[in-house]
Amino acid sequence: MEQDIYSEIAPYSDELIPQAMEKIANDSKLENISRYLYPEKPAEFLKNIVKSCRTTFDFQKNIMFQAVNQVLAKTASKLTFSGIENFKPGNKYLIVSNHRDIVLDSAIIQKILFQNNIPTTEIAVGDNLISSPFIDDFCRSNKMIKVIRKNISPRELYSASKLLSGYIRQQVSNKISSIWIAQRNGRTKDGNDLTEQGLLKMFDMSGTSDFVQDFSELHIMPTSISYEYESCDFFKTAETYIKRRIKYVKAENEDFISILTGITQNKGDINVTFNEPVTLEEIQESARMDKNERFRHLADIMDSKIISNYLFHKTNYIAYDIVNKTTKYAKKYTQADKEKFLEYMRKGLDALNMPARLAALSNAQGKAVEYVRSEMEDIFLKIYSNPVLSKEQRTVAIA
C-alpha cells in the first residue's frame, strides 16, 4: 500500500491506534460522550475502555458498536435490514447510499455488518465536519477516509478528488477494504435521493479510460436507508425555506449541532437495504451511451435501485396523502397515526421560532423575509412524501 501518498486521508493503521486512544481518553470531550452513553457509570468507565483498545477492531467492537447500540436503544423503535446475501466472501464493495443523517447513515451500516460477521467498511467523511483534533482522532480510529474540500482552490479540489479516487480504487479493486460514501455532497434536504454525476466522475478519475473496466472493478453496491422520522427534519425545513428567499449562512457549530440532533432525536423505525451491486451488463449499457450521457445513465441505474428498495413508513404515506389531497394510502395508517404525525409537525415547527429567526436575518442582510406557515408545512411534508412520489414515478416509467 502506498501509505505515504494517502496518509493525509487514510484511516489510522493499527500501529497508530494506541497513540490515538491515549489522546481520546485524556480529552475532556470524552466525558460528555460518557454521560450520554453511560449515565450511570463514572467517566473513568469509558476512559478505561478507550485505553484498552489496541487495534481498529478493538475500537469498533468496544466503543463504536456499543455506542451505536446505545443510541438506537434510546432513540429508535426498530432496526431492520435486508440484502446481506449480496456480500460475497472475499469481495470488497463501494457502498453508495442515500444520505439522510450526517453520522448515523454510515454508523448503522457498520453495526449491521459487524453483527453479521462481515468486515466493516472504511467511511468517507468531509473534512468540514472534522472540527477538532479529538473528532479527527475519533473518526480516523473508526476507519474514516478524510474527504478534503474545506477552504481549498479549484485546482486543490481537483488534486484532492484525484487522490480520493485513487485511494478508493486501490482499496476496493485490490480487495483491501470496502468503502462507504454518500451518493451526494450533503444530506438530502427534500426527500429526493439522487446520485450526483460528479461523484461518479470522481470515481473515474483514477481509471484507465475504459469505462466498463473502471466501474466494474469498483463493485458498486447502491444501498437504501430510511428513517420513520427524518433526521433533523425541522432544521432541513428551515434551511430550505430560508434558501428560497435569502442567502443561507450556516450558524457557528451548525454542523456539530446537526450531528448531535441526528444522534439524539427520535428516529422511530429504521431500515437498511443492501441492494444488488451494479452488474457488468448495466455498466456496459451505460458505456454504450454518448460520453456525456454515460455518467447520467449509470447514476440513474443506481438511483433506481436505491429508490425502488427504500422502505416506506407510516409517516411517508401520511405525508403523501396530505400533500396530494388524496386517501390513496389511507389503509397504511390510522387516523390516530395521522393526528400524531401532524402534532409532531406542529410542535416541531413552533419550536423553530421562525418569525424571530427571519427577523434577525432580515436585519443582518438588509432584506425583508416573510413567514408563511403553510409553506413551511408543505416543505416539511414533502421531505416525507417525495420518496413515495419518486418510487411511483419510476414504476410508471418502467411500465
* Per-residue pLDDT reduced to its tens digit, 179-214: 999 999 888 999 999 999 999 999 999 999 899 999
| Whether residues 281 and 372 fall in one domain | no
| Whether residues 220 and 323 fall in one domain | no
Look at residue 398 in the predicted model and tell me its pLDDT: 53
Look at residue 348 in the predicted model and tell me its pLDDT: 97
- Per-residue pLDDT, averaged over 110-127, amounts to 96
Other CB atoms within a 10 A radius of the CB of residue 5 amount to 13
User: Looking at the domain assignment, is residue 282 inside a domain?
Assistant: yes
Q: Quickly list DSSP for 66-88.
A: HHHHHHHHHHEEEEEEE-GGG--
Q: Which of 283, 311, 339 is the last residue of a domain?
A: 311
Task: Report the C-alpha gap between 97 and 92 in whole angstroms.
Answer: 16
Q: Which of 281, 311, 341 is the last residue of a domain?
A: 311
User: Looking at the domain assignment, is residue 25 inside a domain?
Assistant: no
Helix (H, G, I), strand (E, B) or coil at 174: coil
Please tell me the least confidently modeled range out of 3-7, 39-43, 223-227: 3-7
- Per-residue pLDDT, averaged over 310-315, amounts to 98
Q: Which grid coordinates belong to 156? A: 486543490
- The CATH code of the domain that includes 113 is 3.40.1130.10
| Whether residues 97 and 218 fall in one domain | yes
Q: Answer whether 108's CB lies under 8 Å from 68's CB.
A: yes
Amino acid letter at 42?
P
User: Looking at the domain assignment, is residue 240 inside a domain?
Assistant: no
| Whether residues 201 and 275 fall in one domain | yes
What's the sign of the alpha-carbon dihedral 47, 49, 52, 58? negative
Residue 3 has pLDDT above 70, yes or no: no
326-341 as b/e, with b when 16 or more CB fall inside 10 Å? eeebeebbeeeebeeb
At residue 132 the predicted structure's pLDDT band, cuts being 50, 70 and 90, is confident
Look at residue 396 in the predicted model and tell me its pLDDT: 59
| Whether residues 300 and 373 fall in one domain | no
- Per-residue pLDDT, averaged over 66-70, amounts to 93
Q: Answer whether 80's CB lies under 8 Å from 115's CB.
A: no
Which of 312, 274, 263 is CA-nearest to residue 110? 274
User: Looking at the domain assignment, is residue 220 inside a domain?
Assistant: yes
Q: 131 or 116, which is more confident? A: 116
pTM (predicted TM-score): 0.93
Q: Which grid coordinates belong to 22? A: 491515549
First to last CA, the chain: 47
Task: Report the C-alpha gap between 69 and 178 in whole angstroms.
Answer: 22
Task: Report the C-alpha gap between 145 and 57 in whole angstroms.
Answer: 16
Q: Quickly list DSSP for 275-299.
A: PPPPPHHHHHHHHTS-HHHHHHHHH
Look at residue 123 in the predicted model and tell me its pLDDT: 97
| Whether residues 278 and 146 fall in one domain | yes
- Torsion of Cα atoms, 207 then 185 then 305 then 326, to 10°: -160
Look at residue 397 in the predicted model and tell me its pLDDT: 58
Residue 117 has pLDDT above 50, yes or no: yes
User: Looking at the domain assignment, is residue 252 inside a domain?
Assistant: no
User: Looking at the domain assignment, is residue 113 inside a domain?
Assistant: yes
Q: What angle do CA 229, 235, 240 make, to 5 degrees?
A: 110
Which of 305, 348, 340, 313 is CA-nearest to residue 329? 313
| Whether residues 192 and 273 fall in one domain | yes
| Whether residues 87 and 216 fall in one domain | yes
Show the domain range for 333.
315-398
| Whether residues 307 and 319 fall in one domain | no
Q: Which of 311, 332, 347 is the last residue of a domain?
A: 311
Q: Which grid coordinates belong to 159? A: 488534486
Look at residue 1 in the predicted model and tell me its pLDDT: 43
Helix (H, G, I), strand (E, B) or coil at 194: coil
Q: Answer whether 93's CB lies under 8 Å from 172's CB.
A: yes
Look at residue 185 in the predicted model and tell me its pLDDT: 87
User: Looking at the domain assignment, is residue 321 inside a domain?
Assistant: yes
At residue 2 the predicted structure's pLDDT band, cuts being 50, 70 and 90, is very low
Residue 111 has pLDDT above 80, yes or no: yes
Q: Which grid coordinates belong to 298? A: 449509470
| Whether residues 138 and 177 fall in one domain | yes
What are the φ and ψ backbone dihedral angles of 126, each rounded to 5 degrees?
-65, 140
Amino acid letter at 249?
V
Q: Report the relative pairing of strands 220-227 and 268-274 from DSSP bridges.
A: antiparallel
Residue 154 has pLDDT above 50, yes or no: yes
| Whether residues 90 and 206 fall in one domain | yes
User: Looking at the domain assignment, is residue 27 inside a domain?
Assistant: no
Q: What is the pLDDT of residues 332-383, one digit of tens each?
A: 999 999 999 999 999 999 999 999 999 988 888 888 888 999 999 999 999 9
Query: How many domains is the chain partitioned into structurally?
Result: 2
Helix (H, G, I), strand (E, B) or coil at 399: coil
Look at residue 365 in the predicted model and tell me its pLDDT: 85
Q: Quickly list DSSP for 241-269.
A: HHHTTS---PPTTHHHHHHHHHHHS--EE
With DSSP H G I counted as helix, E B as strand and the rest as coil, what are the percentages for the chain, rounded to 5? 60, 10, 30
| Whether residues 109 and 9 fall in one domain | yes
Please tell me the least confidently modeled range out of 4-13, 113-122, 172-181: 4-13
What are the φ and ψ backbone dihedral angles of 244, each rounded to 5 degrees?
-70, -15
Neighbour order of strands in the sheet with 144-147: 76-82, 268-274, 220-227, 94-97, 179-182, 122-126, 144-147
Task: Report the C-alpha gap between 377 and 48 in whole angstroms.
Answer: 47
Element (H, E) at 126: strand 122-126
Q: Which grid coordinates belong to 57? A: 477492531
Task: Report the C-alpha gap between 307 and 81 in whole angstroms.
Answer: 15
Look at residue 113 in the predicted model and tell me its pLDDT: 97
Look at residue 369 in the predicted model and tell me its pLDDT: 86
Q: Over the Cα atoms of the chain, what is R_g? A: 22
